[in-house]
Amino acid sequence: MGRWKNGAQCAVMLTFDVDAETLWLAGDLTNLDKPGLLSIGTYGARVAVPLILDLLKENDLKATFFVPGWTAETHADLIGVIHAMGHEIGHHGYLHEEPTTLSADEEEEVMRKGLAALQAVTGGRPAGYRSPAWEFSTNTLQLLQKYQFSYSSNMMSHFIPWQHAETGIIELPVQWLLDDAPFFLFRPNGPSRPIQPAATAYQAWSEEFRGIYRFGGLFNLTMHPQLTGRPGRLLMLQQLIDYIRGFPDVWFATGSEIADYWRTSGENDNQGGMLDV
């Protein structure tokens, strides 16, 4: 028997950070005058998100979409469709600001603006928070508690969730290995890595899945519509889903489902001696 819901051996969380144009505007608003550069982000919202929603529907899967407030305002109809299809919407800053670059007051303002933008689309509060670039300031956890989040998906100290002391926030851990950006993000306007073939990401992700499955962990995959939403990479994502579904007892779930399960499953109690976080 695995530790997950109904004895599942492994949990899988497919997540999409819908940065859209904010990826190119964060930290450099002069890019507002560069429509070519911004169009990379526009592709993510306007073309990739619908393709991803189709893929998820064909596979009968629910995913978690982390959305900056600016994206929710600029592409409100699209984010509304994601929500209406039953996927989870999480907080991802306002204009993709990294909290480490903000004062405490600025960080709280970004938190509030992001919340207001998401609530305007979904009518509810997001349960989850993923920081842009996964960066935390020393205030972030307290802010998550103040604004009643259930979980954070930002830390890399384990591949099994845990509960942050004092705040009670559940952590659904991530890792750069399970992010599409190191493989696919190409910055035409600065130092950048070469673009990797989709097969390279598939190889890395499928072998990491096999390991996480072996140890009964959480396979939390972070993707960006403007990156993984390219046609050839979507075929790779389908291949990965098929590969994962070849294993018995895998629980596909959204972030809030996993956090709710973890909070009440008793697994939390087993973490204390193992983790120093």
* Cross-strand bridge partners of residue 91: 67, 129
Give the nearest distance from C-beta 274 to Zn ion in angstroms: 30
DSSP string computed for 45-101: IIIIHHHHHHHHHHTT---EEEE-HHHHHHTHHHHHHHHHTT-EEEE--SS---GGG
Q: Containing H/E element for 222?
A: strand 218-223
70 versus 262: smaller Cβ distance to Zn ion: 70
Give the nearest distance from C-beta 18 to Zn ion in angstroms: 8
**Residue at token pair 């493989």:** 183
Tell me how far apart the alpha carbons of residues 174 and 177 are, in angstroms, rounded to a whole number: 9
Give the nearest distance from C-beta 90 to Zn ion in angstroms: 11
Q: How far is CA 225 from the centre of its chain?
A: 11
135 versus 207: smaller Cβ distance to Zn ion: 135
Tell me how far apart the alpha carbons of residues 180 and 260 are, in angstroms, rounded to a whole number: 26
99 versus 132: smaller Cβ distance to Zn ion: 132
* Cross-strand bridge partners of residue 151: 128, 170
The residue ranges that bind Zn ion (CB under 5 A) are 17, 19, 132
17 versus 257: smaller Cβ distance to Zn ion: 17
Tokens of 115: 């919340």
Give the nearest distance from C-beta 92 to Zn ion in angstroms: 6
9 versus 154: smaller Cβ distance to Zn ion: 154
201 versus 223: smaller Cβ distance to Zn ion: 223
Give the nearest distance from C-beta 132 to Zn ion in angstroms: 5
In 3-state terms, what secondary structure has residue 6? helix
25 versus 236: smaller Cβ distance to Zn ion: 25
Give the nearest distance from C-beta 21 to Zn ion in angstroms: 12
19 versus 21: smaller Cβ distance to Zn ion: 19
- Phi/psi zone of residue 249: left (φ > 0), alpha (ψ -120 to 50 degrees), beta? left
Give the nearest distance from C-beta 228 to Zn ion in angstroms: 13
Within 10 angstroms of residue 142's Cβ, the number of other Cβ atoms is: 15
207-214's contacts with Cβ under 8 Å and 24+ in sequence apart are 208/177, 208/178, 209/10, 209/12, 209/240, 209/243, 209/244, 212/10, 212/159, 213/9, 213/10, 213/247, 213/250
Give the nearest distance from C-beta 167 to Zn ion in angstroms: 23
